[in-house]
Amino acid sequence: MHGIERHEDGGTPRVVVGVSGSLGSLAALHRAVTEARARGAELLPVLAWEPPGGEHGYRRSPCPPLLAAVRDAAEQRLHQALDEAFGGNDPAVPLRPVVIRGETGPALVDVADRPGDLLVLGQSGGLLRRRLRRSVSAYCARRAGCPVLTVPVPALLHDLHELEARERRARWHLPVGPTPELLAAKR
């Protein structure tokens, strides 16, 4: 069938993808474009943002100009991520970027609210960040009313993290491998 297929609820099929600008989210964005093309779907790249200090902190000390600046920065970050992902080229799918105020997991689940939607997520942040914050992909997998596709971290990102770890060890003057003294002590 050519053209845009209709969704079972009467709307256009949609592929919703979480975008943060990380390499993991850019990989998810590329996969989401592939899925949108295959399904004849509209692509909704979504960037969620929160006020500094979170919603609770903002309610305690509201500052509308700061809130507007943070929202504008989120919009710029989404457009920059799209530019980086597509290199200024048209992705050849209907595209509707969404910037939404809220915590990432709940915001993505709210946008991907149709049973026929597909929610695409990438892994982002390092191991420490993933341990400090709850997993967006786990949250979405539990709560979404549509299929969730998690895109693995690109191999290049693993290599980059390894290079960064080696550089840190060198700065800290930690041995990269067993030192001659350690090898002699084991004998």
Average pLDDT rounded to a whole number, residues 134-150: 92
Asked if residue 136 has pLDDT above 50, the reply is yes
Tokens linked to 19: 């975008």
pTM, two decimals, is 0.77
pLDDT at 182: 63
Distance between CA atoms of residues 104 and 51, nearest Å: 12
Q: Does domain 14-153 have CATH number 3.40.50.620?
A: yes
Give the pLDDT mean for 168-180.
68
Residue 128, classed as helix, strand or coil, is helix
Question: What is the chain's mean pLDDT, rounded?
Answer: 85
Q: What angle do CA 113, 118, 122 make, to 5 degrees?
A: 110
**How does pLDDT run across 64-100, given as a tens digit for each residue?**
999 999 999 999 999 999 999 998 899 999 999 999 9
Q: What is the pLDDT of residue 15?
A: 98
Residue 18 structure tokens: 């979480």
Cα within 13 Å of Cα(64), Cβ side: 0
- Quick one: average pLDDT of 126-134? 55
Give the pLDDT confidence score for residue 156 in this predicted structure.
Answer: 73
Predicted pLDDT at 3: 39
**Residue 7 pLDDT class (50, 70, 90 cuts):** very low
CA angle, 13 then 78 then 67, to 5°:
115
More confident residue, 141 or 133: 141
pLDDT at 127 (0 to 100): 54
Alpha helix stretches (DSSP H) within the chain: 23-39, 54-60, 64-86, 104-111, 127-132, 136-143, 155-171, 180-186
Domain boundaries, the chain: 14-153, 155-187
Binned at pLDDT 50, 70 and 90, residue 4 comes out as very low
What confidence category does residue 130 fall into, taking pLDDT thresholds of 50, 70 and 90? low
Paired tokens of 174? 């930690």
The candidate with the shortest Cα–Cα distance to 65, out of 80, 82, 52, is: 52
Residue-level pLDDT at 33: 97
Residue 86 is encoded by which pair of tokens?
């597509």
